[in-house]
Amino acid sequence: MFRLFENAFKQFFCPCCERRLRKFDPFGVNLRLNALCPKCGSLERHRLLWLYVQHRTSLLAGHLTLLHVAPEAVLQKKLSSLRHLDYVSADLDSPMAEIKIDITDIDFPDHFFDAILCNHVLEHVMDDRKAMSELFRVLKPGGWAILQSPIDINREKTFEDPEIVSPEDRERLYGQHDHVRIYGRDYQEQLEEQGFIVKVDDFVGTFDVQSIKKYGLMEDEAIYFCLKPL
């Protein structure tokens, strides 16, 4: 009876760790409410990505070779446990990654991976166009990549300046001290220039307001689902 009474007050749910919660915690430089899962540490973008993977891709069912760039702990734990996946996690610095790679010079042959997850990485990379090109190169024809970056939807063009180097200025202008640009609505065009067919999927728009709150999602975050043509 006590458990039923307690659960009645747990109106939030983290799809990453599958826990019912009383609340998500605030998080961020500009504090966002309902952002951080207190159990697994997932943020809005992690929960959105996991829900998308579950509902809009074949990743949980098919035998695929997956590259996970800059693996987030909670997603790496879930994906690496799926025996049908040939799972590779990679990063330049992260101790969690299985292998070390420079995303602008990926040490894998052409057309190697069926799928790629790269979540909030490109905004940290100086030569992001080379990184996009490399991700395209190692993806198999017909393969897909989810390439998420923070987007300022009010900005038509991406803003970057190589002379902006101090952490303070980068935080002020790009939103975080280790970002080297802030993408605008031309992010899709930049990906398409490398050869991707890009679907900007308003997946979160398929949820009602109550579910968006329940899962702790951001209402305006789209999924950049990128296909490599056959």
Tell me: the pLDDT tens digits for 197-220? 999 999 999 999 999 999 999 999
Please report, for residues 74, 165, 192, 217, 221, the alpha-carbon distance to residue 212 in angstroms, rounded to integers and kept in the order given.
20, 36, 29, 5, 11
Measure the CA–CA gap between 20 and 26, rounded to whole angstroms.
17
Give the pLDDT of residue 1: 45
pLDDT in tens, 143-191: 999 999 999 999 999 999 999 999 999 999 999 999 999 999 999 999 9
Q: Beta strand pairing status for 86-91 and 65-69?
A: parallel
Question: Residue 230: exposed, middle, or buried by beta-carbon count in 10 A (0-12, 13-18, 19+)?
Answer: exposed
Domain boundaries, the chain: 62-227
Q: Which residue in this structure is represented by tokens 């747990």? A: 10
69: CB partners within 8 A, 6+ apart: 90, 91, 101, 103, 116, 117, 118, 119, 121, 135
Once rounded to an integer, what is the mean pLDDT over residues 19-25? Answer: 95
pLDDT in tens, 80-129: 999 999 999 999 988 889 999 999 999 999 999 999 999 999 999 999 99
- Which CATH superfamily, name and number, covers 62-227? Vaccinia Virus protein VP39 (3.40.50.150)
Does this model's pTM top 0.85?
Answer: yes
